[in-house]
Structure 1
Amino acid sequence: ATTMDKLTLAANHYKRSIFEVIENIEKIDLKINKGTQTKLKNFTNMIKSFQIMASNKNAFEVAEAVAKKTGLVQELKKDGTPEGIARIENVEELLNGIQDFVDGQQELADADGSLGEFLEDVALMTDLDQETPDEDRVALMTIHLAKGLEFPYVYIVGLEEDLFPSGMSMNTRSELEEERRLFYVALTRAEKQAYLTYVQSRFRWGKLIDAEPSRFIEEIDDEYLDYMVPQDDYKYKPLIDRDIFGEIDKSKLRQNKPKKGTPPPAHKPTEDELRKLRRLRPADASTPTKADIPLQLEAGQLVEHMRFGKGKVLSIEGVGQDKKAEIDFETGGMKKLLLRFAKLKILS
């Protein structure tokens, strides 16, 4: 506090920012000892290095460097309270969101996925969210916030080891029991049915890692579980008139809805099904996927994009890997997409 007071007074006296005062601290006699001066200079050097990174690196690379070099995450880990753990999870989700944004920007011919672009996108998204009309929607909330509430259908997502239960709760038996009680709270919010889901791989701190099903799932008696096996090629299918996992083999699901107040009839999965549920094998890297097949577009076609909505192709230019399409989207506006990265669905 004393150092900050001296820096503030000097900044006011010289009509400069505190940052500029620190940059020239050796030229100003502020009665600050050499050790503190060194720490202040190291801070300004660190910020300058981030500025250089921001000019030639993408948003995720900059954000990850900031999280590591500032010691932010290490400092938050010292706080073992639920609030401290929530802060770490927030930082992790922020990094995941930035990585997702950078991947999406690869499609745009005039985008570089920079930190500036990310901040602009977040600002625009926030304004859009505030104007969303009041209508029926899914209630997304934390389990703590759901205490005392009930819903006909509840979806508990992210049931994976190190996520739920949290990796921060593995130190003692009491911490693990608290996570188990929290899972019980989530499960008993459902009046009719609860869906428990997990993934085979997940972005953690911006990197794709293998995931393992939560121990809490295995602790439930099979009598109360009805397994739902998604298709291998399932991805981003619309939920209307489909099961929550898209079109799947109905023989793996119950055929008749249970009466209210009774548990659903058990479906005893085969060993192969269980193995598939617990660890789906990754696709053979040598097998071509839809993303590897070049998109054949023509001007005038109608297309759909997960992020920008429906649109009309206005023109195609370039050849080979540099081929790009200019598309007028209903919600995303005019965009120029690189076809080798574009995640488009041709409507007509």
Structure 2
Amino acid sequence: MEQNLFPHRMSMEEQSLEEERRLCYVGITRAEQQLFLTYAETRRLHGQENYNAPSCFLSEIPKELMNEVRCNTQISRPVSFANTSMHSTDEDTGLTLGQRVLHSIFGEGTILNFEGQGASTRVQVNFESEGSKWLVLQYAKLEAL
């Protein structure tokens, strides 16, 4: 249940989103007792790491019918970008890629990326309610969850 996969990118471009919404509804209504809908926070597709947003169809399901469950896993390989210094753990803070953190303003999120070292280390966090943000660790005061 990820944007660009379900609904597929082509459906969004061709304005045939209603057909995929219908297929989603049919699939949901076939569940008799329970239904598990999943999405990946990161996906390797065609040799590239992708961070697709959860499917827009998930926001159309009433919140009282949903129970979000997250597993405690870590991303084992960092995404590499040109001209950035990246590592899977920040030695000064002990934070790791894929780790869940809490920010006093933005709420809960997942660490996607590190850049730099020491006091100027920046971290990219994908917050549940605010999306992806780059923060300087020295000022962000992130709390590990």
After TM superposition, the score normalised by the length of structure 1 is: 0.23
Distance 1:183 1:228, change over 3 A: same
Which protein is richer in strand relative to its size? 2
1:180 corresponds to 2:10: no
What residue in structure 2 maps to residue 204 of structure 1?
45
Aligned to 1:166: 8
Q: How many Å separate the matches in 2 of 1:234 and 1:201?
A: 8
Instruction: Kindly state the Cα deviation for residue 185 of structure 1 after the two structures are TM-superposed.
Output: 1.5
| Separation (CA, whole Å) in 1 of partners of 2:21 and 2:57 | 7
**Mapped partners of 1:284, 1:234: distance in 2:** 13
Match of 2:56 among 196, 215, 232: 215
Distance 2:74 2:18 in 1: 37
Q: Is the helix fraction higher in 1 or 2? A: 1
* Structure 1 counterpart SS, 2:50: strand
SS in structure 2 at match of 1:171: helix
What SS does structure 2 have at the residue aligned with 1:203?
Answer: strand
Q: How far apart, in 1, do the equivalents of 2:75 and 2:31 lie?
A: 26
Who is 1:282 aligned against? 112
Deviation at 1:172, TM superposition (A): 4.0
**Aligned-residue CA RMSD (Å):** 2.5
Q: How big is the shift at 1:283?
A: 5.8
Deviations 1:257-315, CA, capped at 9 Å, x for gaps: xxxxxxxxxxxxxx73xx54xxx3226579xxxxxxxxxxxxxxxxxxxxxxxxxxxxx
Q: Partners of 2:75 and 2:38 in 1: how far apart? A: 15
- The one-letter code sitting in structure 2 at the alignment partner of 1:281 is I
Q: Unpaired runs of 5+ in structure 1?
A: 1-158, 236-270, 287-348
Counterpart residue identity of residue 12, structure 2: M
Runs of 4+ in 1 over 6 A off after TM superposition: none
Give 1 or 2 for the bigger CA radius of gyration.
1
The 3 A distance-change label for structure 1 pair 281 and 234 is closer
Distance in structure 1 (CA, Å) of the matches to 2:50 and 2:75: 19
How many residues end up aligned between the 2 structures? 87
Alignment of 1:227-266 (within 5 A): 227-233=68-74
Could you report, residue by residue, the CA deviation over 1:216-265 in whole angstroms, capped at 9, with x for unpaired residues?
11111101101112214488xxxxxxxxxxxxxxxxxxxxxxxxxxxxxx
CA offset digits 1:162-181 (Å, max 9, x no partner): 100000101344x1000101
Matches within 5 A, 1:17-36: none
1:166-204 C-alpha deviation (Å, 9 max, x unpaired): 00101344x100010111111122111111111111122
Identity %: 37
- Report Cα offsets for 1:98-147 as digits up to 9, x if no partner: xxxxxxxxxxxxxxxxxxxxxxxxxxxxxxxxxxxxxxxxxxxxxxxxxx
**Deviation readout 1:66-88 (Å, 9 max, x if unpaired):** xxxxxxxxxxxxxxxxxxxxxxx
**Any residues of structure 2 matched to 1:307-322 within 5 Å, and which?**
none
Three-state SS of the structure 2 residue aligned to 1:190 is coil
Matched residues in 2 for 1:234 and 1:190: separation?
31
Give structure 2 stretches of 5+ with no counterpart: 77-105, 117-145
Task: Specify the SS of the correspondent of 1:208.
Answer: strand
- Aligned partner of 1:212: which letter? A
RCO higher in structure (CA 8 A, sep ≥6): 2
2:31 maps to 190
Name the SS of the counterpart of 2:35 in structure 1: strand
Residue 209 of structure 1 aligns with an amino acid whose one-letter code is N
1:34-73 matched pairs, under 5 angstroms: none
Structure 1 pair 226/206, CA: closer, same or farther in 2 (3 Å)?
A: same
Q: Distance in 2 between matches of 1:167 and 1:234?
A: 25
- CA distance, structure 1, for counterparts of residue 111 and residue 56 of structure 2: 20
